[in-house]
Amino acid sequence: MVKFHPMNARSSWLARFSVLAVTVIASPPALAQADFPSRPIDIVTHASPGGGTDATARSMVLGTKLALDVDMAVVPRTGGGGVVAMNYVHSRPRDGHTVLAITPTHLFAIARGQGPIKIDDLVAIARSTDDPIVVMVRSDSPVQTLEDLIELGKERPIKWGTTQIGSVDHVAGATFAQRAGTELSVVPFQGGGEVVTNLMGGSVDAAGLNLTEALDQIQRGDFRALAVMAEERLASIPDVPTTVELGYDVVFSTVRGYLVLKGTPEDRIDILERGMLEGMRQQNFVDYLHGAGLDESSVAGREVWDAQVRRLYDNARQAMIDLGIIRER
Amino acid sequence: MALPGFEYALPVLTDPFVIGLIVVGTIAGVLVGALPGLSSSMAVALLLPFSLYLDPIPAIALLSALYCAGTFGGSITAILINAPGAPPAAATAFDGYPLAVKGEAGRALGISAVASASGGIFSVLVLLFAAPLLARMAYSFGPPEYFALAVFGLSMLSSISGEQPVKNLIGGCFGLLIATVGVDLTTGIERFTFGVPELYDGIHFIPVLIGLFAVTELLSQAQILGQEKISVTVSAVKLPSWADFKRVKNSILRSSAIGTFIGVLPAEGSTMAAMIGYNEAKRWSDKPEEFGTGSIEGIAGPEAANNAATGGSMVPTLALGIPGSATAAVILGGLQVQGLRPGPYLFEEQPGLLYGIFFAMLLSNLLFLGVGLIGAKVFSRISLVPATLLWPTVFALCFVGAYGLEQSLIDVWVMLAAGLIGFGLKRYGFSPAPIIMGLVLGGLVETSLAQSMIIFDQQWTGFLERPISLVFFALALISVLNAPVRGFIRRRRSR
Amino acid sequence: MRHQDSLIGVCLIAFCAFVLWLTTGFDEVPAMLSQNVPPTFFPRLVLAIIAALSAVLVLKGLRKERQRHERIERSVFVTAAIIAVAGVLLSFVGTFVTLCLVAIVLPLAWGERRKHLIGALALGVPVGVYVVFTLALGVRFPAGRLFEAML
């Protein structure tokens, strides 16, 4: 039986042909309002079109621009692990019309002292995804539990697949190894997809991947999830223990959310927060989260997100000091 | 057809609205693909949010059609103005532009359209019948295998163009050197970035491509401004003859298979497929000396390969959920946005979807064949526009093409510098082809070697235990020895 | 004077030496990754190959006769200069003004004298780019420092 999409019910001929029209020419800007937002809002990302950050931002924009009744654009400023994007946002007026999309990558860059922005310059608006790191092995591996993996690493270094050096999953893996007193031999790849292929193909022993990158393989039984690097278990894999439960205080997650710089008027931050939260309650964004293997709890408002950004920053900074990537100043 | 699910897909696919979407996607794809710097992945990414308002099958049909047609579109500007619309079309410019300069733009465009469509259709059929089987192949390609594949690619450097193997090799190494700019993947160390954050991720390929081809050509045109042009008006719009198609038949078949295979490998894309397709067409040709001066086999080879790679790259994307190329990654995102999770279970749960994609790609290939052949007559007139008006327009396109990719001024400057350097190189007998080849393969060669060494605990002997690697190393050796050995035999015989 | 290839080879060897010196300035690899292939390995390998091939070029060139190249026309230098100036102008006056100026200056420099055609180009190029790229595809172009300062 073919499962048709829930959106099917909504589509009428008229609506469908209007889509045909918008696919040719992008939607015209909504009429500007007198107060805020008075002109199009830019969401500045550090990712090329098509990546997870880009897709998340574009999905968020769809609902939010209706909620705020203003045109919004996703503006890619790639390079430098977010530094180019932060440079750009730093150069714009702090009037709420330029919003920075951040990921842990940006926080690592800030912790390294790269770019003009300091952690205290950031003011959170809302979070759109929270995607924790899951430690996993191939299911035919003799390693059954996290303890087994740690033991293996004491015999010989574990071949551990990660994305780029200094990325959140690399720092997460290295921090875990250090706390557990085990040894890793880190094999970096260009992206999560490559890590999945190589874990599958047997080039690496284990990997710390985002849940969304490997949920399919876990549910299908190709990969065995050993632990979630979070404080609470995940609804989609409820049997997998957390690192905190197992006695390792190693909490890392790929979060994506939106920020502005300090000095942006408070009332405008409020308007943005309300607009984004409403935008991310729309069906399209919920579908997007489900498609990626997440749920509505990914979305959070200013208070939760602001606290998390600061906690992640402190974790990242401490981890990088411990690992010798940066020196304490 | 006996495969299950066809009956579910049929009502959706015969819907005039869906057909309309595929037509729009194809035409938009050809146009966007033809604009330098605007690749099919960008076009697909830009359409992604709008596809949300559609049901899954129409949405993915639209995106796939855009992908197929966009890959073909790149060849149009490569042939007409030596500015490849997208990286996979770089190899098409090697022979396509010289042929257009000879006044046979229509012939070049016609060959490109037919080769592209054939390669595309070949790969779609493979996708339909062998996707799950082929997808497993992706798992047997780890870093050691990719390293061997890249070495095989590099073995073509000396033969890819011109008569000066030493200069080709220097050019190739220069490309490899440019590819080392940026953060080293396995150690995280910055190299040759001079503190410019835009360079952390390396020098972008497209600005270099546009610079080396189009801007260099702009300067070359300036050189011959005063010279009398040969009048070529009559034959410019003429399409290829049957004899032409017969001659490129084998190149198309060979490249279709090569392109599909390389497309299936997740880390590789249609650019490398096109390069290998070009070189193999040259190697097997009866007239290898014509390559670089406007050989139709030199157009068919890369074009069949890069379009076959589009179908190939959908194999791991759909069957494993691992993107086979940059554009496939965006389409994967499109599926996720629709609430679908690609993987082995997708076809079981959504049998109609496979047919949706299959049908859209097939129809798109046929459509752009039509658009390409009819368009060839129209587009080829561009080569008749006076140089004094055409090239300033081309320059403007290069400008926005280099900038539009990542919206970075650094890219524009890279393009301008590549153009100036390219003019000097061309003057002293260095052709752009090996440089592009080195640039395409550079990152792969270096990172796959470094990754392999970690996996092998820094022991070189690890490669000896990987049979697929050994096969590619052997092919590389044959490829390098091919020309000298043949020459040796010829000399012996002639005595 | 021998064949130019000798001179080119010497220049390339000098270039390699310079880049080799640049590689000595790379940061140190963090201790935990120090067993990996060092970041200098591959660039230095490539430089060594280029230098060796350049040496071959020098030797071959010494045995060849000097090749006659046609003189580089003045129009090439003018075009190169226009390109370079356009690159600098871009960050000051923005994309559209730059494109408009290029569409006027380049045809003039190349000997085009039909005013109506140049006018059409000067107007058509920026407008076409704006419609296709900015309106239809949502690419924003830099306005340039001059105009940003005015805003």
Confidence of residue B229 (pLDDT cuts 50, 70, 90): low
Confidence of residue A269 (pLDDT cuts 50, 70, 90): very high
Output the domain CATH number for residue A114: 3.40.190.150
Q: pLDDT of A202-232, one tens digit each?
A: 999 999 998 888 888 888 889 999 999 988 8
Task: Name chain C's partners: 3 or more CB pairs within 8 A.
Answer: A, B
Chain B's closest residue to A12, CA to CA, is B54
Domain count across chain A: 2
pLDDT computed for residue B265 by the predictor:
83
Task: Name chain B's partners: 3 or more CB pairs within 8 A.
Answer: A, C
Residue indicated by tokens 């049979």 = B467
Q: Do C30 and A323 touch (CB under 8 A)?
A: yes
| Chain C residues inside the 8 Å CB shell of B192 | 19, 22, 43
Interface test with B, best of C20, C76, C130 (most B CBs within 10 A): C76
Residue A90 lies in a domain: yes
Handedness of CA B389, B392, B396, B401 (dihedral sign): positive
% of chain A surpassing 70 pLDDT: 88
Residue B232 lies in a domain: no
Res. A13: pLDDT tops 60: no
- Across A217-221, B133-137, B264-268, the highest mean pLDDT is recorded for A217-221
CA distance B262 to B278: 14
Give the residue among B329, B351, B421, B359 at the shortest CA–CA distance from B121: B359
Q: pLDDT of B349-385, one tens digit each?
A: 777 777 778 888 889 999 999 988 888 888 877 777 8
Predicted TM-score of the model (pTM): 0.84
Confidence of residue B158 (pLDDT cuts 50, 70, 90): confident
Q: pLDDT of B304-356, one tens digit each?
A: 999 999 988 888 888 877 777 878 878 887 787 777 777 666 766 777 777 77
Could you tell me if C138 and A75 are in contact, meaning their C-beta atoms sit under 8 angstroms apart? no
Whether chain C has a CB inside 8 Å of the CB on A84: the answer is no
Q: Do C33 and A73 touch (CB under 8 A)?
A: no
- DSSP assignment letter at C24: T
Chain A's closest residue to B350, CA to CA, is A2
Res. B70: pLDDT tops 80: yes
Residue A4 lies in a domain: no
Could you tell me if A96 and A272 are in contact, meaning their C-beta atoms sit under 8 angstroms apart? yes
Give the residue among C19, C23, C25, C17 at the shortest CA–CA distance from C40: C23
Domain count across chain B: 1
Residue B1 lies in a domain: no
Whether chain C has a CB inside 8 Å of the CB on A73: the answer is yes
Res. B2: pLDDT tops 50: no
Chain B's closest residue to C49, CA to CA, is B173
Report which residue type is found at B444. L
Chain A's closest residue to C138, CA to CA, is A26
Could you tell me if B361 and B314 are in contact, meaning their C-beta atoms sit under 8 angstroms apart? yes
Could you tell me if B153 and B141 are in contact, meaning their C-beta atoms sit under 8 angstroms apart? no
Chain A's closest residue to B43, CA to CA, is A49
Residues 391-450 (B) with a CB less than 8 A from some CB of A: 406-408, 447
Residue B200, token pair as written in the block: 């952390």
Cβ atoms < 10 Å from Cβ of B179 = 25
Strands A206-210, A122-138: pairing kind: antiparallel
Contacts of A294 (CB under 8 A, 6+ apart): A129, A130, A131, A211, A212
Confidence of residue A9 (pLDDT cuts 50, 70, 90): very low
Residue A233 lies in a domain: no
| Chain B residues inside the 8 Å CB shell of A199 | none
Residue B413 lies in a domain: yes
Residue C109, token pair as written in the block: 């420099």
- Section C85-107 average pLDDT: 89
Chain A's closest residue to C148, CA to CA, is A92
Confidence of residue A243 (pLDDT cuts 50, 70, 90): very high
Res. A2: pLDDT tops 70: no
Could you tell me if A229 and A172 are in contact, meaning their C-beta atoms sit under 8 angstroms apart? yes
CA distance A102 to A144: 35
- Section B147-158 average pLDDT: 86
CB-based burial, A21-38: b 16+ in 10 Å, e otherwise: eebeebeeeeeeeeebbe
Residue B90, token pair as written in the block: 């770089």
When CB atoms are compared, the residue of A5, A204, A284 closest to B55 is A5
% of chain B surpassing 70 pLDDT: 92
Residue B230 lies in a domain: no
pLDDT computed for residue A309 by the predictor:
92
pLDDT computed for residue B162 by the predictor:
65
Residue B424's alpha-carbon distances to B69, B417, B418, B444, C58, in angstroms, are 35, 11, 10, 28, 18
pLDDT computed for residue A121 by the predictor:
92
**Paired residues of A185 in beta bridges:** A159
CA distance A152 to A160: 12
Torsions phi, psi for A227 (to 5 deg): -160, 150
Output the domain CATH number for residue A169: 3.40.190.10
Locate all alpha helices (DSSP H) within B198-294, ordered by sequence.
Answer: 205-210, 216-223, 242-264, 270-284
Structural domain of residue B118, as residue ranges?
A: 6-225+237-494
Q: Between C43 and B344, whose confidence is greater?
A: C43
Res. B299: pLDDT tops 90: yes
- Section A257-262 average pLDDT: 94
Is the same domain home to A124 and A179? no
Give the SS3 label for residue B378. Answer: helix
- Average pLDDT of chain B? 84
pLDDT computed for residue B227 by the predictor:
66
Contacts of A179 (CB under 8 A, 6+ apart): A248, A249, A250
Contacts of B155 (CB under 8 A, 6+ apart): B475, B476, B477, B479, B480
Handedness of CA A95, A98, A99, A104 (dihedral sign): negative
Chain B's closest residue to A22, CA to CA, is B50
When CB atoms are compared, the residue of B24, B200, B406 closest to A24 is B24
Res. A79: pLDDT tops 80: no
Whether chain B has a CB inside 8 Å of the CB on C115: the answer is no
Residue A237 lies in a domain: no
pLDDT computed for residue C149 by the predictor:
63
Residue A179 lies in a domain: yes
Q: C80 to chain A nearest CA, in Å?
A: 29
Residue B342's alpha-carbon distances to A1, A283, B322, B333, B458, in angstroms, are 17, 21, 8, 10, 36
Q: pLDDT of A25-76, one tens digit each?
A: 443 343 334 478 888 899 998 877 666 788 788 889 888 988 998 888 888 8
Locate all alpha helices (DSSP H) within B191-241, ordered by sequence.
Answer: 205-210, 216-223
Report which residue type is found at A255. V
Residue B153 lies in a domain: yes
Q: Do B403 and C23 touch (CB under 8 A)?
A: no
Is the same domain home to A144 and A116? no
Q: Do B53 and A288 touch (CB under 8 A)?
A: no
| Chain B residues inside the 8 Å CB shell of A165 | 183, 185-188
Is the same domain home to A39 and A103? yes
Contacts of B216 (CB under 8 A, 6+ apart): B418, B419, B422, B423, B426, B432
pLDDT computed for residue B420 by the predictor:
92
Whether chain A has a CB inside 8 Å of the CB on C138: the answer is yes
Whether chain C has a CB inside 8 Å of the CB on A26: the answer is yes
Q: Do C37 and B226 touch (CB under 8 A)?
A: no
Structural domain of residue A183, as residue ranges?
A: 132-228
Strands A98-102, A253-261: pairing kind: antiparallel
pLDDT computed for residue B39 by the predictor:
72
Is the same domain home to A118 and A162? no
| Chain A residues inside the 8 Å CB shell of B324 | none
Is the same domain home to A258 and A126? yes
Contacts of A310 (CB under 8 A, 6+ apart): A119
